[in-house]
Chains A and B, each alone.
Chain A
Amino acid sequence: MKLKFSIRKKRISRSAGGDFANFVFILISAAFMALPLVLITCNALKPLSELFIFPPRFYVRYPTLDNFRDLIILMSESWVPFSRYLANSLSVVILGTGGHVIIASLGAFVVSKYDFPGKKFFSAMVLLSLMFAPQVTRIPTYMIMAKIGWVNTLTSLIIPAWQYSLGFYLMSKFMGQIPDAILEAATIDGASKWRIFWSIVMPYVKPAWLTLIILSFQMLWADTGSFYIYSEAIKPLPNALFQIAAGGIARTGINAVVMFLMMLVPVTLFLFNQSKIVETMGTSGID
């Protein structure tokens, strides 16, 4: 894959003028995308005097970590300790993502590699579920949660994440490209289905795990849980951060830090796994 690009020659259908126009277009759109992100970073580093300067200035002139310090002080004063919020968030993100990867892989394995009655129907349902947004069914979902008795527990955030259908779909598409011959050979050698799944298929689809992990992670990380959770002690971190930031104009600096932190974590995660994720996405097409 990498080799393919390093030896690529200039193609005939490319004009220098066109290349230049493309480059300018990309630069302008990149600036549009980047400016808000740069502003978030700058604001987090601005001292109070620069945050309220008039006329407003974009870049930070005298960067400081004051805002971060203020956030830490505020957090240490809250009656639910900061570590508790962090633990809530981490357990939601880790259990939700972990369960999702395992359960979706198990299901995707049989759907992509074997045939059984009802398989077509099930795949069609999964595809259909990608076509509408979960917001549409939030109310009945809440009623179901209430019936099961999961309202106001972290379970209400963790378990639904396990059945995130986009992850299931991407995983089954990626597994679909494993050559059947490998699985047949293993079956002839006497390997059980579990063995095939665990020792052959799972190592093969590592890039897809990472994709599922980042998709599920960024969704759960940003989830304030405010729809299901009302006890302060089990609220996830973003909820607490937004409550602090909601303090209005006096919390402008802290607000900037909160935005910066919320952005930093998923972007860093993506940064390190980019090539694997792009590889998985290549198999996602609908035929």
Chain B
Amino acid sequence: MQSIEININDPANKLSMSDRWLRLRKRIVDSKELYLYLAPFAILFFVFTVLPVIISIYLSFTYYNMLEAPKWVGWQNYIRLFLADDVFLIALKNTFIFAIITGPVSYMASLLIAWMINEFKPKIRAFFTLLFYAPSISGNAYLVWQYFFHNDPYGYANAILMDLGIIHEPILWLIDPRYILWIVIIVVLWMSLGTSFLVFIAGLQNVDNSLYEAGAIDGIKNRWQELWYITLPCMRPQLMFGAIMAITQSFAASQQSIALAGFPSVDYAARTIVTHLVDYGSVRFEMGYAAAIATLLFFGMIIIQRIVQGMLNKVGE
């Protein structure tokens, strides 16, 4: 067989810049119809998702109160966030406690419960899927937790504890800074079996059954080994997607905190970065400062997503 040699340094074989542009242009013109199909979504996506991020980054370097034109202030907003804003540091700490607990716990719970449910007969499985998924789509149903953690003896938690004689006066669940954050965490966990849970259920159903038989022959002894060596590696794509959903959720939860713990919460005990953002953006109208908080949160979330994806690539190795 004769090998063909192309001398890339030969000017005749080198694509000139203008040639490349012409080719690209031709490909673009050829795909005219395709762009037309994508255009409605792409334009709206740009206007309502991409553009806000760009504006946010720009505003974060300005002083802007919505009345006067934005004034460029450089890194001043960021410096103020870390050096002069004590409440932001509380918010940062709370957000991390919150995300480190709710993110992994809801992710693991979604996976574990989906995996256990998968063993049941289809009818029972469908019932449990509905039950576990329902809280996440029930809108403001989480407000019902107020009845459990009412601050007076009418609340179920207080009533039960007092009945058992563990406490003698009602605990102020949503006022005492020692409890607020934890209650918000419980409520968020309750409604966190959302999209990622469904994705795991679906992923488990798609694992090829013959793999399990082969695994049994190869000496897999119990269900945990089977999970780690067969099921999880097969589901890696779903695990990735589920992780993205779980992380986004755990960093963004704010409505539950605002609705249950009040805004601002006592001693800022349930302050998260997002509620801090709401405070500066929708109450104080310091838009530049709010944009700096948003920008930090944006990059923080993306960096954490990347780290977690790196970790998930090691599953089953």
B38 touches A122 (CB 8 A): yes
Interface residues, chain B, CB within 8 Å of chain A? 24, 27-28, 31, 33-35, 37-38, 40-42, 44-45, 47-53, 55-56, 59, 109, 113, 116-117, 119, 121-122, 126, 128-135, 137-145, 147-148, 153-156, 159, 163, 190, 193, 195, 198-199, 201-203, 205-206, 209, 212, 215-216, 220-223, 225-226, 235-241, 244-245, 247-249, 251-252, 254, 274, 277-278, 281-282, 287, 290-291, 294, 297-298, 301-302, 305
Q: In the complex, A245 Cα to B122 Cα: how many Å?
A: 39
- Inter-subunit contact A37/B141 (CB<8 Å): yes
- Given contact pairs A107-B42, A284-B241, A285-B237, A18 touches B222 in the complex (Cβ within 8 A): yes
Complexed CA–CA distance, A58 and B143 (Å): 16
Interface size on A, residues (CB 8 A): 96
B130 touches A281 (CB 8 A): no
Closest B residue to A34 by beta carbon equals B131
Are A140 and B163 closer than 8 Å at their CB atoms?
no
Cβ B138 vs Cβ A37 within 8 A: yes
A153 at the interface (CB under 8 A from B): no
B297 engages A132 (CB within 8 Å) = yes
- CB <8 Å contact, A32 and B126: no
Interface pairs (8), CB distance under 8 Å:
A58-B156, A129-B45, A133-B251, A143-B55, A215-B195, A221-B139, A278-B205, A285-B238
Say whether, besides A221-B139, A267-B137, A33 and B37 are in contact (CB < 8 Å).
no
> Please, which residues of chain A bring their CB within 8 A of the CB of B42?
107, 122
A-B contact count (CB 8 A): 282
A131 near B248 with CB under 8 A, answer yes
A143→B278 CA distance, assembly (Å):
15
Q: Are B35 and A116 in contact (CB under 8 A)?
A: yes
Return the chain B residue nearest A5 by Cβ: B122
* Distance A171 CA – B243 CA, assembled complex (angstroms): 19
A266 within 8 A of B: yes
Main secondary structure of the interface of B (DSSP, over half): helix
Cβ 8 A contact of B190, one of A36, A109, A143, A160: A36
Q: Which residues of the partner chain B approach A221 to less than 8 Å between Cβ atoms?
A: 139
Which residues of the partner chain A approach B291 to less than 8 Å between Cβ atoms? 139-140
A248 sits at the interface (CB 8 A): no
- Name B41's contact: one of A11, A162, A285 (CB within 8 Å): A162
Task: Give the 4 A-B CB pairs with smallest separation, nearest first.
Answer: A285-B237, A133-B252, A282-B202, A107-B41
A8 to B120, CA, bound (A): 11
| Cβ A132 vs Cβ B301 within 8 A | yes
Q: Which chain B residues border A193 with CB–CB below 8 Å?
A: 33-34, 37
Could you tell me the distance in whole angstroms from the C-beta of B58 to the nearest C-beta in chain A? 9
B305 proximity list for chain A (CB < 8 A): 131
Chain A residues near B137: list those with CB within 8 A: 214, 218, 266-267, 270
Measured between alpha carbons, how far is A137 from B277 in the docked complex, in Å? 10
Q: Is A117 among interface residues, defined by CB-CB distance under 8 A?
A: yes
**Neighbouring A residues of B141 by C-beta, 8 Å:** 36-37, 40, 259, 262-263
Residue of B nearest to A283 (CB): B202
For A106, A130, A131, A267, which residue has the most chain B Cβ atoms within 10 angstroms?
A131
**In the assembled complex, A238 has its CB within 8 A of some CB on chain B:** yes
- For residue A12, CB closer than 8 A to chain B, the reply is yes
- Residue in chain A with minimal CB distance to B154: A56
Question: Nearest residue in A to B281 (C-beta to C-beta)?
Answer: A139
Q: How far is the CA of A268 from the CA of B294 in the complex (A)?
A: 36
Evaluate contact between A109 and B37: CB separation under 8 angstroms: yes
Q: Which residues of A contact B (CB under 8 A)?
A: 1-2, 4-6, 8, 11-15, 18-19, 22, 25-26, 29-30, 32-34, 36-37, 39-40, 43, 52, 54-56, 58, 103-104, 106-107, 109-111, 114, 116-117, 122, 125-126, 128-141, 143-144, 159-160, 162-163, 165-166, 168, 193, 197, 214-215, 218, 221-222, 238, 242, 259, 262-263, 266-267, 270-271, 274-275, 277-287
Which residue of B has the minimal Cβ distance to A131? B305
Which residue of B24, B55, B129, B156 is within 8 Å of A140 (Cβ)?
B55
Q: Quick check: A259 and B144 within 8 Å, CB to CB?
A: yes
Q: How far is the CB of A161 from chain B (nearest CB, A)?
A: 10
Alpha-carbon separation in the docked complex, A277 to B274 (Å): 31
Measured CA separation A134–B281 after assembly (Å): 14
How far is the CB of A49 from the nearest CB of chain B, in Å?
14
Note all chain B residues with C-beta closer than 8 A to A111: 38
Query: Is the beta-carbon distance between B147 and A107 smaller than 8 angstroms?
Result: no
User: Is the Cβ of A130 less than 8 Å from the Cβ of B41?
Assistant: no
Chain A contacts for B190, CB-based, 8 A: 32-33, 36
In the bound complex, do residue A286 and residue B195 qualify as a contact, i.e. CB atoms below 8 Å apart? no
Given A193-B33, A278-B129, answer yes or no on A116-B140 (Cβ-Cβ < 8 Å): no
**Across-interface contacts of A218 in B (CB, < 8 A):** 137, 139
A122-B38, A137-B53 are known contacts. Are A262 and B139 too (CB-CB below 8 A)? yes
Q: Is the CB of B223 within 8 A of A107?
A: no
Determine whether the beta carbon of A37 is less than 8 Å from that of B38: no
Q: Are A282 and B145 in contact (CB under 8 A)?
A: no
Expressed in whole angstroms, the minimum distance between the Cβ of A247 and any Cβ of chain B is 14
Report whether B37 and A110 are in contact in the complex, using a CB–CB cutoff of 8 Å: yes
Q: Do the beta carbons of B240 and A136 come within 8 Å of each other?
A: no
